[in-house]
Amino acid sequence: MSELIDILSSAGLWAAVLRIATPLIFGTLGALLCERSGVLNLGIEGIMTFGAMAGWLAVFNGADLWTGVLIAAICGGIFGVLHSVLTVTLGLSQHVSGLGVTLFAASFSYYIFRLLVPVAGTPPTIEAFQPIAIPGLSDLPFLGAAFFTQTPPTYLAIILALVMAYILFKTPLGLAIRMTGENPHAAEAQGINPMVIRFGCIIVGSAMMAIGGAFLTLSAFNSFFPTMVQGRGWICIALVVFATWKPSRALLGALLFAFFDAFQFRLQTVLSGVVPYQLFLMIPYILSIAALAFMARRARVPQALMQPFRRGER
């Protein structure tokens, strides 16, 4: 029992929560934006992988860290265009298209990585983002070390969640996006082009997913290796449902989720030898499934989600 309290009261745990949450926040916000416009983007897992690879490779070849993030975002956007053409222009099954994008983006990133980075015993590394202490706030006892000594992308993720909440609910653009996800025909009748809105949301959303992936190689770790995304993309898709398609709740959901992840990681060391570590690693996936089951009927799903829009067809 005292061990539990030790874990909960260590600033390290809470710092880890924010760190673990960061890629989930980016990914969930990206998926949320796509779904608000009416398109499920299962390309997320592959796009995160590609973002992780592209960002890392850029920095490995001498670009600075922010340029790496930018390049990841651009690559994500390009995969967004691919997904848009399949699901919006052609109106194909969003499930299968998304899986296709994931398979392609993931295998393509491994191919490029293998092609450009020679095989070595230990994977090559880069200088990753360093934590930045926020002046003033980081001096607070406990809270400072826990929450205000993070790497810049983490701060960016939190700001992004707030910006997205504002855009979706307080601007005409956000209303246009929500209307497109609820009833694209109504949006069109009001002079909004649902195709353009969906393209835009998928491209920007995919860029966010890629940034989430890049965080893994540019901040959380300093190297790239295949399968490093480990289903985080699928967890983000579950988190969107859990967040009932609201950015502020997506932020909270990602943090809650990261809390369990960080907590189980520390519990592992305490209980090692007693309980197999794999049981702890299962927790995030099982939690996601539980969250889906809990929220699936409670949430108000965007009415046009997964329905292709064809002009003149109702």
241, 268, 261: which is closest to 35 by C-alpha? 241
Residue 269 near other proteins by CB under 8 A: no
Among 10, 107, 149, 222, binds other proteins (CB under 8 A): 107
Among 230, 244, 248, 307, binds other proteins (CB under 8 A): 230
Task: Find the part of the chain contacting other proteins (CB under 8 A) among 5-13, 54-62, 104-112, 144-152.
Answer: 104-112
Asked if 60 and 50 touch (Cβ cutoff 8 Å), the reply is no
Residue 311 near other proteins by CB under 8 A: yes
Between 66 and 104, whose beta carbon lies closer to other proteins? 104
Among 17, 33, 71, 86, binds other proteins (CB under 8 A): 86
Within 56-85, the residues that bind other proteins by CB under 8 A are 82
Separation CA 147–CA 134 (nearest Å): 9
Between 1 and 119, whose beta carbon lies closer to other proteins? 119
Query: Which amino acid would we find at residue 66?
Result: W
Among 110, 155, 260, 265, binds other proteins (CB under 8 A): 110
Among 22, 154, 183, 217, binds other proteins (CB under 8 A): 183
Separation CA 146–CA 141 (nearest Å): 9
- From the CB of 285, what's the least distance to other proteins, in Å? 4
Question: Using CB under 8 A as the criterion, what x/- string covers residues 273-292 for binding other proteins?
Answer: ---x-xx-xx--xx-xx--x
Phi-psi region of 311 (alpha: psi -120 to 50; beta: other; left: phi over 0): beta
Task: Find the part of the chain contacting other proteins (CB under 8 A) among 8-16, 140-148, 151-159, 189-197.
Answer: 189-197
Separation CA 16–CA 186 (nearest Å): 44
Among 61, 64, 67, 114, binds other proteins (CB under 8 A): 114
Beta bridge partners of 149: 133
What is the binding site for other proteins (CB under 8 A)? 42, 82, 86, 89-93, 95-97, 99-101, 103-104, 106-108, 110-111, 114-115, 170-176, 178-179, 182-183, 185-192, 230-231, 234-235, 237-238, 276, 278-279, 281-282, 285-286, 288-289, 292-293, 296-297, 300, 302-303, 310-312, 314
